[in-house]
Chain A
């Protein structure tokens, strides 16, 4: 249930992101989801890829500062109120979110990737409320 997300430190330098996607492409690594948090000087790329261990290794070999972060992915119906329902469960259980990003997949489903300091507890409470969670296997193999 826990998904291994890669976080990469990126300087705000022209072409740096392209270098990174080039390295992933050369190693036949697919990107399932990503987001970039940026400041004036640097950005942090958060990316879920197939073959996360390989992705970490090849990026490190190319001098990137890479860190593996555990995140969870909640799968919801792509309709009004679905995200609110999921977040309400987390809030009611005292789980705070450090950051999140979301993507819609297919016609009627959407996934929210959530980073919290208590991923295991989050999984437990979400399952208790019969929420669907993204399986690591699903994303890594895309």
Chain B
């Protein structure tokens, strides 16, 4: 099932032309309405007339998260305040929060891309969807909410948390779909098992999970716990929120709604544009957004794009699950290491929990990597040889995956600090020296 066949299955050449037209229009809008962008373009000697087709995209300068912070709160808005009907903001865990604005048309466009996304997960007007993403400044809840309403599904705006109520509504209302973060989905699944709920009363068939990185192993775990098919959704508030891209039933990556968001993959060091299939940093240009269009916004997310046609019939480019972020990628003795790689090894092993910490240090000018892993209480053995064996197995698996020796330190359960927001996975002591 496809929500908008015209735009999702467009011939590539027609799509490129459409993107070019929309890009031209967007550059003109920001040139005349956003002093920050005008100054940036003038500095580079670019005038709106120089941008004629999609080919010219690479001439344009990048926008970074720092630019958003420097222009806090409304400096990048391209419309007068009376046209802004909604404001969202990021949590600001890594500094001042970033603010994004939406016009009425932006909200309509957002609903459209979320409607397309939910349709990919097989959700129709006959479904009951429990929206367990947080409502509020965070874009997750309201983003999915409007898209679900556009489809005509019955929306339960329960927001995040309140697990007992979530379970009760799953049973009483017979929710057929749920949208939340993957970690909360896993938590709900465990709660169902603990409360010994009657599984036959749980009618869930689809889950729309995003807003944080997760692995294939976690997908398997959630699917087993909740008895549904788990779909990956991607988005970031700077671009629109959830619904920038979404996995179809083929689950071979997430289709990016390219008629609204033009993706590029760049080398995070040199900023050179890389070809399809190459790993690099994802960059978006939001060509249809009115309130806060962004020109070549660097997401810091690392992924690959694939252009070959998907079996679902959509021609839209597919992005792989992000392997990490260009800003939390560690380079240890010349090897790129992402915390998500460590997580996937630990999740494959049943004896450990995915609570871990990477400690990077330098001894005698040589980088060292220690991975602290919590010992799951039920697998704690009172024999040294068993625990040493476990430690060696983890270390061996990590070393073969990372291509670099990692020493593993077993720590007591509950000792790695828990975070309510983004988990702190890395301590890099090298920077302190």
Contact = CB atoms under 8 A, between A and B. Distances in A.
Chains A and B bind each other:
yes
Interface of A: 7, 9-11, 37, 39, 41-42, 44, 46, 60, 63-67, 69, 98-99, 115
A11 B383 contact: no
B384 interface: yes
A41 B410 contact: yes
A114 to B, nearest CB: 13
Nearest to B377: A65
Contacts, number: 47
Contacts of B413: 63, 65
Which 9 A/B pairs are nearest by Cβ-Cβ distance?
A7-B382, A65-B380, A63-B414, A65-B377, A37-B384, A41-B409, A69-B382, A9-B380, A11-B412
Contacts of B381: 67
Interface in B194-222: none
Nearest to B370: A41
Interface residues of B, number: 17
A44 B387 contact: yes
B412 A63 contact: yes
B301 to A, nearest CB: 35
B375 interface: yes
B89 to A, nearest CB: 35
Interface string B348-375: 0000000000000000000000000001
B388 interface: yes
B415 interface: yes
Interface in B24-39: none
A37 B410 CA distance: 15
B411 interface: yes
Contacts of B387: 9, 39, 42, 44
A30 B387 CA distance: 28
Contacts of B415: 11, 63
Nearest to A45: B382
Given A11-B415, A65-B375, A42 B410 contact: yes
